[in-house]
Amino acid sequence: MSALFTWACLLQLLQLLQLLLLLLWTGSAAQDKTPDVAVICSNSEDCVLPCYFQPGQNEMVQWFRQGALVYRFDRNGSEEAFTLPEVADRVFVSAQQISNGNATLTLRRSAPQDRGLYSCQVQTSGGQHTAKVIVKVEAPIRGLFLEHSRLSGYEEIKCSVPDVFPAPRVTWATEPPTFEDLRPVTRKHVKENGLFSVDSRLTKLKGQPDLIYICKMSTSYSRSTWTASLREKEITGTEGRDLTIRCLAPTYLKNPSLYWTFSRGDNSTLILSYDSQSDRKVSAPSWDGHLDLDVYKAKFGDGSLRLMEPRHPEHSGSYACEFSEKFSRHVERIRVTISGPHAGQRAAVEKPSYWWILGVVAAGLVLVLVGLLAFLKLRGRDKKPRAHSDEETELNRVKDGESPQ
Ligand X SMILES: *[C@@H]1O[C@H](CO)[C@@H](O)[C@H](O)[C@H]1NC(C)=O
> Which residue number, 18 or 97, has a Cβ lying nearer to ligand X?
97
In angstroms, give the least distance from the CB of 41 to ligand X.
15
- For residue 229, which of 213, 241, 243 has the smallest C-alpha distance? 213
Q: Are 252 and 175 in contact (CB under 8 A)?
A: yes
> Which residue number, 119 or 174, has a Cβ lying nearer to ligand X?
119
Q: What is the largest CA-CA distance in the chain?
A: 184
DSSP string for residues in 69-112: EEEEEETTTTEEEE--TTTGGGEEE-HHHHTTTB--EEESS--G
Which residue among 72, 82, 90, 102 contacts ligand X (CB under 6 A)? 102
In angstroms, give the least distance from the CB of 33 to ligand X.
22
> Which residue number, 93 or 338, has a Cβ lying nearer to ligand X?
93
> Which residue number, 79 or 210, has a Cβ lying nearer to ligand X?
79
Chain positions 25 to 64 lying near ligand X, rule: CB under 6 A, are 58
Q: Are 309 and 323 in contact (CB under 8 A)?
A: no
- The region of 16-24, 90-98, 212-220, 264-272 touching ligand X under the rule CB under 6 A is 90-98
Give buried/exposed letters for 193-228 (b at 16+ CB in 10 A, else e). Answer: ebbbebbbbbebeeeeeebbbbbbbbbeeeeeebbb
Is residue 324 involved in binding ligand X (CB under 6 A)?
Answer: no
Which residue among 106, 130, 218, 304 contacts ligand X (CB under 6 A)? 106
| Cα–Cα distance list, 167 to 186, 218, 405 (Å) | 11, 9, 141
Is residue 193 involved in binding ligand X (CB under 6 A)?
Answer: no
- The region of 89-97, 111-119, 247-255, 302-310 touching ligand X under the rule CB under 6 A is 89-97
**Phi-psi domain of 152 (left: phi exceeds 0; alpha: psi -120 through 50; beta: other):** left
> Which residue number, 46 or 402, has a Cβ lying nearer to ligand X?
46
> Which residue number, 6 or 76, has a Cβ lying nearer to ligand X?
76
Q: Which residue is nearest to ligand X (CB)?
A: 76
Cα(389)–Cα(228) distance, integer angstroms:
105
- The region of 34-42, 101-109, 187-195, 224-232 touching ligand X under the rule CB under 6 A is 101-109
Which 3-state string (H, E, C) describes 121-163?
A: EEEECCEEEEEEEEEEEEECCCCCEEEEECHHHCCEEEEEEEE
In angstroms, give the least distance from the CB of 146 to ligand X.
41
Q: Would you state the torsion angle of the CA atoms of residues 186, 187, 190, 194, taken in this order, to the nearest 10 degrees?
A: -10
Question: What length is written for the chain?
Answer: 405
Which residue among 15, 66, 97, 224 contacts ligand X (CB under 6 A)? 97
Count of residues in contact with ligand X, rule CB under 6 A:
8
Which residue among 41, 43, 70, 104 contacts ligand X (CB under 6 A)? 104
Chain positions 144 to 173 lying near ligand X, rule: CB under 6 A, are none
- For residue 215, which of 185, 188, 194, 191 has the smallest C-alpha distance? 185
Which residue among 76, 78, 152, 403 contacts ligand X (CB under 6 A)? 76
Q: Which residues bind ligand X (CB under 6 A)?
A: 58, 76, 93-94, 97, 102, 104, 106
